[in-house]
């Protein structure tokens, strides 16, 4: 019996080669997309699950509202972790991390420094919480002593190629030495903390600092088995009262009750480790995380494409029913039960689906590099996993049944008396369901096109928006702090180059670096005499005299820093938002803002000393965070800050200029790698996720349209075939070719029209939500909708009319003779 | 073997109702060779389809081997079809994707016969129809007469008690037609009951009994002596 099914199926498929190809091709494209997206999602969901105790590990996060500052932080005060371990019996272990940006590192005795991005300071207890596989050294004693380091296998290979790293010494920033006490296997890519160097904090002053009002440490805790995290969270209030309360009183002169009473907030909460990658988007994250929203979006897209491919399948199979009707009739007359016929057609579908999957696997493997590039991942097809093959098998069954059940029921329902007389069941001809399926396909495709266009529109909006500074032609040299006392001399040497129009040194750059390369710093400031009610958390940036000029910012009131005014070191340039937040009124110049003096010691009695700054100018608001964020209050202060040097260049001969700059660098900073970026590239990198989203939408929209068109093409050819006689008669009666084309196209255009309406509603709602995430966004506008609509109609027309023209120009005599 | 009583069949389209069979009664005994004649639209194919259990009457009763069929389920009717009935059509209705051998084998597949026995039966049927040499051909590669011989082989391969033929010679020339009719007559002689619908008197005369239908009713009935040819 089964053999008979196979034979019939195979011969049928071979006979109808074009439709078989369209069927398998469409299905394979759909499945390949689905497969890639499924791997992407599986990867996203697997983050941090490799830690043995992952279910008991939590990160402590802070939720703070203090004046203008309002948000959630991934960082917490230094003394909090030790306090939790001491006070909370539920806590089994706690450990802290502290990032200090990238570092230049070399092995002791080596000439050349390497720039290392993945460096972090850590408590020894991280080994009690997280799972590491040590290749060398002892986990129990690693990081216990001051100036020791634990490094990854690849870091060890970089710095100590071909030798054991254990016991060797690394030099940081040409100054500090760290002895390697352990080498661990590289952390998996699916880890939100992925570091090459863990450096001991045992003797770090900041780590021992008892201040509860500064937030710089990432704190992770391991709870005892069976602990309810909410029970721990319930105790945070008491802990803050006990430790932070007295310091608040001392520094700010307010009690915790008054502080909270005036609308401020200082809460702590726990984030499960495995939720951090997908659900956490706090300030000061270790690295940009993924987003559960993208996981959802991609899941929906994958489902759409798969459904489109399945729908193709159903459409083609039912449309082809005319060819199978006689067979169904004969088999029924010979005593076949309906169940047997359903089984027969399911076998056929499963064969096709299996073929589709094989092609899909090949396609997925082929396009994996492209997809990895698109998604920024390094996914591989897990050929060796039994689970993978099991899901492939399950997928064949599921999709085979999903796509095959309807045609099977449809075909097996033919009445033998009818079909053997050559009369077709009416369903084979029109088919409301088939139309609904075409509408669905086109809705999904059009919706994807609209989304693509909208994402691109927002990206263009971001690129063309007035930023408040000029991001073109600015070169950023990194790690210039290593120049130390030669910093100023180097700046002057650069200023002497003819292609350089201005030079500025500062660690503060108006883009958010992807790896925390650029500094950000904020402190509480208040207009003189209004400490409690007008306190503003102000981003305070240390800059030099040439900063505003080099970046092309605009002074709208007052003046820029100037060498002619030595008192400018006590001056500040505020942005417009800051002027408003402080309530300085229309004439802020000459007014003063105060802050605590740096390095105040909380153990001294009495209110700490304050510093005071005079407003000398107002700079036009400029974007220094992603456009998702509102521009926050910011002040520029004249201070030495040597992290980077920015050069404004003249347009001509960039490579030559960079060569010259590098030559100067070699003179001034021998042995330090020359690292530079362009400001506009750094700006674009802030929107990498959005660009990725746009590209992924684009790729999938193209694929969806392609698959949908394959289906439409085949469907149109069947329609034309079935109406051959009608077309013949019409032509004999005098219909022109155009009349016939119009006749055949009208139906489809109607369907595409309905699809458009549905797609517009769907994509409109979806994109509106996405755009809401941006503080600054392009207006919605009709453009993308109109364009997507025109595109869809054009593509549908092109597809259908090819068949229509063929049918319309065929010889009518032939057509009428048939039957 | 067959008893039809007061059989009525209406066809309904959206606006009009046509009566194909109008209170028709008929009895057929085992071993008979019955020809049904009549002009187009008289209801002869409908009658054959109902007897063949691929159509159901609107009212009336149908006893096949003393079993009531008119209201039987599709399962029962399909079961009877594959075990006791054989069909021959004017347009042959062979499945294009299957070879001659596979087409003839098809009814046996649905009766779940074992492969070895199937092979034996199919070979015998092909032998009988003198088509063994074409066993691996596809229907399109055969002449009309050959196709119909394959169809007859398919109809008798499972030794049905009753053979139903709907214009079996309608698409064939006289020589091929006569050959098919001779095959049917010899099957009848071996004991198979045959009911045949035909336009051609020449064919009808192979049967022992001929009924004429008009507007869904039997208007006359003739009996012939066995045809010497």
Residue B166 forms beta bridges with which residues?
A: B197
Give the pLDDT band (50/70/90) at residue A513: low
Element (H, E) at A477: strand A474-478
Q: For position A424, what pLDDT does the model report? A: 53
What are the C-alpha distances in Å from B150 to residues B139, B157, B186, B192? 9, 10, 16, 18
Q: How far is A18 from chain B (nearest CA, A)?
A: 17
Residues B152-177: tens digit of each pLDDT: 999 999 899 999 999 898 888 888 88
Residue B177, Cβ neighbours under 10 Å: how many? 21
| Confidence check: pLDDT of A743 > 90 | no
Is some CB atom of chain B closer than 8 A to the CB atom of A343? no
Is B78's CB within 8 Å of A330's CB? Answer: no
Residues A537-578: tens digit of each pLDDT: 888 899 999 999 999 999 999 999 999 998 999 999 999 999
Asked if residue A715 lies in contact with residue A707, where contact means CB atoms within 8 angstroms, the answer is no
Is some CB atom of chain A closer than 8 A to the CB atom of B95? yes
Q: Which two tokens stand for residue A812?
A: 């009518």
Give the pLDDT band (50/70/90) at residue A224: very high
* Complete edge-to-edge strand list for the sheet that includes strand B217-223: B85-88, B162-166, B193-197, B33-37, B209-214, B217-223
Is some CB atom of chain B closer than 8 A to the CB atom of A2? no
Length of chain B: 229
Using DSSP's 3-state secondary structure scheme, residue B118 falls into helix
- Phi and psi torsions of A574, nearest 5°: -95, 155
Asked if residue A406 lies in contact with residue A314, where contact means CB atoms within 8 angstroms, the answer is yes
| Confidence check: pLDDT of A428 > 60 | no
Q: For position A609, what pLDDT does the model report? A: 79
- The rounded percent of chain B whose pLDDT value lies above 90 is 42
Residues of chain B with C-beta less than 8 angstroms from the C-beta of A420? 89, 91, 93
Q: For position A421, what pLDDT does the model report? A: 66
Give the pLDDT band (50/70/90) at residue A66: confident
| Confidence check: pLDDT of A646 > 90 | yes
Is some CB atom of chain A closer than 8 A to the CB atom of B82? yes
**Selected residues 397-456 of chain A with any CB under 8 Å from a CB in chain B:** 415-417, 420
Give the pLDDT band (50/70/90) at residue A815: low
Report the alpha-carbon distance of residue A561 to residue B22 in Å, rounded: 110
Q: Please give the biggest Cα pair distance in chain B.
A: 53
Give the pLDDT band (50/70/90) at residue A239: very high
Q: For position A514, what pLDDT does the model report? A: 52
Is B81's CB within 8 Å of A335's CB? Answer: yes
Report the alpha-carbon distance of residue A345 to residue A336 in Å, rounded: 13
- The rounded percent of chain A whose pLDDT value lies above 90 is 36
Q: Which residue do the tokens 């001779």 mark?
A: B182
Asked if residue A413 lies in contact with residue A338, where contact means CB atoms within 8 angstroms, the answer is yes
B101 → chain A, closest CA residue: A4
Q: Which of A1, A14, A330, A422 to mutate to test the interface with B (most CBs of B within 10 A)?
A: A330
Question: Nearest Cβ partner of B110 from A326, A336, A420?
Answer: A336
| Confidence check: pLDDT of A376 > 50 | yes
| Confidence check: pLDDT of B228 > 50 | no
Is some CB atom of chain A closer than 8 A to the CB atom of B113? no
Residues B193-217: tens digit of each pLDDT: 999 999 888 888 888 899 999 988 9
Question: Nearest Cβ partner of B110 from A326, A335, A416?
Answer: A335
What residues have CB less than 8 Å from A411, skipping those under 6 apart? A317, A318, A321, A324, A325, A328, A341, A345
Is some CB atom of chain B closer than 8 A to the CB atom of A643? no
Element (H, E) at A493: helix A487-495
Q: For position A128, what pLDDT does the model report? A: 94
Q: For position A242, what pLDDT does the model report? A: 93
Report the alpha-carbon distance of residue A329 to residue A413 in Å, rounded: 10
Residue A652, Cβ neighbours under 10 Å: how many? 8
Mean pLDDT of A194-207: 90
B114 → chain A, closest CA residue: A1
Q: Which of A3, A334, A338 to mutate to test the interface with B (most CBs of B within 10 A)?
A: A334
Q: State in Å, rounded, how far the first CA of chain B is from the last one.
A: 27
Q: For position A819, what pLDDT does the model report? A: 40
Question: Nearest Cβ partner of B54 from A15, A333, A338?
Answer: A333
Report the alpha-carbon distance of residue A59 to residue B24 in Å, rounded: 88
Is A11's CB within 8 Å of B94's CB? Answer: no
A12 → chain B, closest CA residue: B97
**Selected residues 143-182 of chain A with any CB under 8 Å from a CB in chain B:** none
**Selected residues 30-69 of chain B with any CB under 8 Å from a CB in chain A:** 49, 52, 54-55
| Confidence check: pLDDT of A306 > 80 | yes
* Complete edge-to-edge strand list for the sheet that includes strand B2-12: B17-28, B2-12, B59-64, B67-68
Question: Nearest Cβ partner of A334 from B91, B96, B110?
Answer: B110
Q: For position A86, what pLDDT does the model report? A: 95
């Amino acid at each position: 019996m089964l053999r008979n099914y196979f034979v019939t199926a195979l011969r049928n498929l071979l006979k109808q080669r074009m439709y078989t190809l369209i069927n398998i091709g469409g299905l394979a494209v759909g499945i390949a997309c689905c497969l890639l997206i499924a791997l992407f999602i599986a990867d996203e969901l697997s983050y941090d699950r490799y830690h043995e105790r992952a279910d008991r590990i939590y990160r402590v996060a802070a939720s703070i509202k203090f004046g203008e500052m309002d948000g959630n932080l991934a960082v917490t005060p230094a003394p909090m972790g030790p306090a939790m371990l001491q006070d909370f019996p539920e806590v089994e272990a706690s450990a802290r991390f502290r990032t200090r940006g990238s570092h230049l590192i070399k092995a002791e005795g080596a000439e050349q420094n390497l720039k290392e991005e993945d460096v972090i300071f850590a408590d020894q207890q991280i080994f009690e919480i997280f799972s590491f596989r040590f290749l060398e050294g002892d986990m129990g004693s690693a990081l216990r002593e001051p100036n020791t380091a634990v490094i990854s296998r690849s870091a060890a290979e970089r710095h100590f190629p071909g030798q054991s790293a254990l016991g060797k010494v690394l030099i940081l920033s040409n100054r500090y030495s760290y002895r390697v006490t352990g080498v661990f296997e590289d952390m998996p890519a699916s880890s939100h903390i992925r570091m090459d160097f863990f450096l001991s904090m045992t003797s770090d002053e900041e780590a021992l600092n008892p201040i509860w009002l500064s937030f710089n440490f990432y704190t992770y805790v391991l709870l005892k088995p069976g602990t309810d995290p909410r029970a721990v969270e319930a105790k945070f209030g008491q802990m803050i009262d006990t430790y932070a309360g007295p310091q608040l009183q001392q520094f700010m002169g307010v009690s915790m009750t008054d502080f909270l009473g005036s609308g401020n907030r200082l809460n702590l909460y726990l984030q499960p480790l495995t939720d951090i990658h997908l659900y956490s988007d706090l300030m000061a994250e270790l690295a940009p995380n993924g987003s559960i929203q993208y996981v959802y979006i991609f899941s929906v897209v994958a489902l759409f494409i798969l459904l489109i491919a399945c729908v193709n399948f159903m459409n083609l199979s039912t449309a082809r029913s005319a060819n199978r009707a006689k067979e169904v009739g004969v088999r029924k007359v010979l005593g076949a039960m309906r169940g047997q016929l359903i089984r027969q057609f399911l076998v056929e579908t499963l064969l096709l689906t299996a073929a589709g999957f094989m092609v899909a696997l090949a396609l997925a493997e082929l396009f994996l590099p492209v997809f990895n590039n698109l998604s920024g991942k390094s996914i591989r097809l897990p050929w060796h996993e039994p689970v993978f093959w099991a899901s492939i098998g399950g997928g064949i069954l599921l999709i085979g049944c999903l796509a095959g059940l309807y045609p099977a029921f449809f075909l097996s329902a033919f009445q033998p008396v009818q079909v053997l007389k050559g009369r077709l069941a009416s369903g084979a001809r029109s088919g409301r369901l088939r139309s609904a399926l075409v509408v669905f396909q086109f809705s999904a495709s059009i919706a994807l096109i609209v989304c693509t266009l909208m994402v691109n529109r927002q990206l263009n909006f971001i690129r063309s928006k007035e930023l408040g500074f000029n991001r073109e032609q600015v070169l950023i040299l990194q790690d210039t702090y290593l120049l130390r006392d030669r910093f100023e001399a180097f700046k002057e040497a650069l200023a002497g180059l003819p292609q350089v129009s201005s030079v500025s040194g500062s660690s503060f750059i108006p883009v958010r670096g992807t790896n925390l390369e650029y500094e950000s710093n904020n402190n509480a400031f208040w207009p003189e005499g209004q400490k409690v009610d007008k306190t503003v958390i102000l981003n305070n940036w240390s800059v030099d005299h040439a900063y505003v000029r080099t970046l092309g910012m605009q002074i709208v009131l007052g003046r820029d820093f100037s060498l002619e005014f030595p008192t400018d070191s006590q001056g500040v340039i505020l942005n417009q938002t800051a002027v408003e937040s402080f309530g300085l009124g229309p004439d802020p110049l000459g007014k003063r803002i105060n802050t605590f003096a740096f390095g105040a010691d909380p153990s001294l009695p009495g209110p700490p000393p304050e510093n005071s700054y005079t407003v000398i100018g107002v700079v036009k608001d400029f974007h220094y965070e992603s456009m998702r964020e509102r521009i926050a209050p910011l002040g520029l202060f004249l201070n030495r800050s040597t992290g980077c040097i920015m050069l404004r260049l003249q347009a001509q001969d960039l490579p030559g200029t960079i060569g010259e700059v590098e030559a100067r660098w070699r003179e001034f900073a021998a042995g330090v790698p020359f690292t530079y970026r362009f400001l506009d590239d750094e700006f674009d990198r802030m929107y990498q996720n959005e660009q990725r989203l746009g590209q992924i939408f684009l790729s999938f929209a193209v694929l969806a349209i392609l698959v949908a068109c394959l289906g439409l093409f085949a469907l149109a050819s069947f329609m034309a075939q079935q109406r051959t006689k009608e077309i013949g008669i019409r032509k004999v009666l005098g219909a022109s070719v155009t009349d016939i084309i119009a006749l055949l196209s009208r139906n489809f255009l109607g369907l595409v029209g309905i699809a458009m309406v549905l797609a517009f509603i769907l994509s409109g709602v979806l994109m509106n939500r996405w755009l809401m995430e941006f503080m600054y966004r392009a207006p919605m506008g009709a453009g993308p909708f109109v364009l997507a609509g025109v595109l869809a109609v054009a593509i549908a027309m092109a597809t259908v009319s090819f068949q229509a023209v063929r049918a319309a120009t065929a010889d009518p005599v032939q057509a009428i003779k048939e039957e | 073997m067959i008893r039809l009583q007061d059989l009525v069949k209406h066809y309904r389209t959206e606006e009009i109702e046509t009566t194909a069979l109008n209170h028709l009664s008929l009895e057929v005994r085992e071993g008979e060779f019955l020809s049904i004649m009549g002009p187009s639209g008289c209801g002869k194919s409908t009658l054959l389809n109902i007897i063949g259990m691929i159509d159901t009457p609107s009212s009336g009763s149908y006893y096949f081997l003393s079993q009531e069929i008119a209201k039987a389920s599709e399962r029962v009717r399909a079961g009877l079809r594959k075990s006791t009935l054989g069909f021959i059509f004017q347009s042959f209705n062979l499945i294009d994707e299957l070879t001659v051998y596979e087409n003839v084998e098809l009814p046996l597949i649905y009766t779940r016969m074992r492969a070895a026995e199937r092979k034996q039966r199919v070979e015998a049927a092909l032998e009988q129809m003198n088509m063994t040499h074409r066993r691996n051909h596809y229907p399109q590669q055969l002449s009309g007469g050959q196709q119909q011989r394959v169809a007859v082989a398919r109809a008798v391969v499972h030794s049905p008690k009753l053979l139903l033929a709907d214009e079996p010679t309608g698409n064939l020339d006289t020589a091929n037609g006569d050959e098919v009719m001779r095959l049917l007559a010899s099957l009848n002689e071996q004991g198979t009951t045959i009911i045949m619908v035909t336009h051609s008197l020449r064919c009808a005369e192979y049967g022992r009994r001929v009924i004429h239908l008009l507007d869904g009713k039997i208007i006359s009935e003739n009996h012939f002596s066995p045809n010497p040819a």
